[in-house]
Amino acid sequence: EHIANQIAAGEVVERPASVVKELLENAVDAGATKIEVAVEEGGLLRIRVKDNGSGIEPDDLETAFYRHATSKITHGRDLFQITSLGFRGEALPSIAAVSKVEVLTASGDDGRGRRIVIEGGKLCTHEDAASPQGTEFVVKELFYNTPARLKYMKTIQTELGHISDVLYRMAMSHPYISFTLRHNENTLLQTLGNGDLLQVVAAIYGTSAAKAMLPIEGENLDYKISGLISLPEWTRANRAGMSTIVNGRYIRNYGLNQAILKAYHTLLPINRFPLVVLQLEMHPSLVDVNVHPAKLEVRFSKEAELYEFVETTLRGILRQEVL
Ligand code: ADP
Ligand code: MG
């Protein structure tokens, strides 16, 4: 069991940013409206994620660290109708196998909670403790017991860059959740959680970027599309500013990016790329999120129709504005 956890950890926990991603996904799944992340030394020394979500029931706290102890799938067929972000039950045991984890959680608002400490997969403390409703994870000294892996970590700036990317994606995918990112003593991101995607874009890319954004809107029987796309005032030399979100999940899909670029480049400079946040909503059966363990890659069941819809919707919006 212990070895299995370390092996699984190798797949789930590649670097500090992977820990942040898993903890953020759990906080979102727990219905949090406010999530604070604070990291030290690029997350290698300490990662803290605090949410105001449902909390973990006292009896479930220890079990949450067993492999495949997900509370999110109750029937086999649920695998085909996934709406929550996490569903494999591998994150917590994996993280706990290669770090020192402390969790403080309460599932009610009477101040009574539980605290658990697990180091290198071994349970050290499990006790009653005062806690506001929600959950706070502290992950210390990642890879302290796997020196070979620790050696592969890049500079603090590089690890921090990956963590910021994770926060940006989460914030863009969830404009109704307030996210904060702090590194050492500096606040790097603060979103309000009031549903305003433009505020999120301003917090990530700056206010002048936000001023160049045009709203995206469209709908047909299968798909609902929304988001923001930049006009020529704010284009970039690469695709790094292109974000696609499907049912609240940040994803990467080549065809979708191509559809956006086809629409963009018929009207705007061919060698520049837009800043774009494209949000798609569709029935879960139209998208397969189980393609890749990192859950970034997805497959669409009617992809040609989807790409066509995205392209024509964007072209219509851009044409109106540019001509
Ligand atoms: P998964 O997310 O795939 O279910 P995890 O290992 O990430 O698996 O988490 C295990 C379980 O622990 C979750 O199913 C959930 O019940 C519980 N859990 C983890 N983090 C939180 C949180 N922040 N708030 C509430 N419950 C949580
Ligand atoms: Mg999870």
By the 8 A CB rule, do 275 and 209 touch? yes
Whole-structure pTM value: 0.90
By the 8 A CB rule, do 246 and 298 touch? yes
The pLDDT value recorded for residue 80 is 45
CA 195–ligand 1 middle distance (angstroms): 25
CA 3–ligand 2 middle distance (angstroms): 20
The pLDDT value recorded for residue 4 is 63
The pLDDT value recorded for residue 10 is 65
The pLDDT value recorded for residue 84 is 55
Identify the burial level of 24 via C-beta atoms within 10 angstroms of its C-beta, where 0-12 means exposed, 13-18 middle and 19 or more buried.
buried
Q: Which residues of the chain have pLDDT under 70?
A: 1-11, 68-88, 292-295
Identify the burial level of 168 via C-beta atoms within 10 angstroms of its C-beta, where 0-12 means exposed, 13-18 middle and 19 or more buried.
buried
DSSP class per residue in 153-220 = ---HHHHHHHHHHHHHHHHHH-TTSEEEEEETTEEEEE---SS-HHHHHHHHH-HHHHHTEEEEEEE-
User: How far apart are the C-alpha atoms of 97 and 8, rounded to whole Å?
Assistant: 9
CA angle 94, 56, 25 (to 5 degrees): 55
The pLDDT value recorded for residue 78 is 46
CA 228–ligand 2 middle distance (angstroms): 29
Indicate if ligand 1 lies below 6 Å from the C-beta of 28.
no
Indicate if ligand 1 lies below 6 Å from the C-beta of 107.
no
In the block, tokens 């020192």 appear at: 100
The ligand 1 atom at the shortest distance from the C-alpha of residue 73 is: 4
Using one digit for the tens of pLDDT, what is the confidence trace for 150-208? 888 889 999 999 999 999 999 999 999 999 999 999 999 999 999 999 999 999 999 99
H or E stretch covering 137: strand 134-140
List CB-based neighbours of ion ligand 2 within 5 Å.
26, 86, 91
ipTM surpasses 0.85: yes
By the 8 A CB rule, do 87 and 289 touch? no
- Closest to 179 measured CA to CA, from 37, 322, 3, 74: 37
- CA-nearest residue for atom 2, ligand 1, is 86
The pLDDT value recorded for residue 107 is 97
Per DSSP, 289 falls in state: -
- Residues forming beta bridges with residue 217, ordered by sequence position: 226
Four-CA torsion 59, 81, 21, 216, nearest 10 degrees: -140
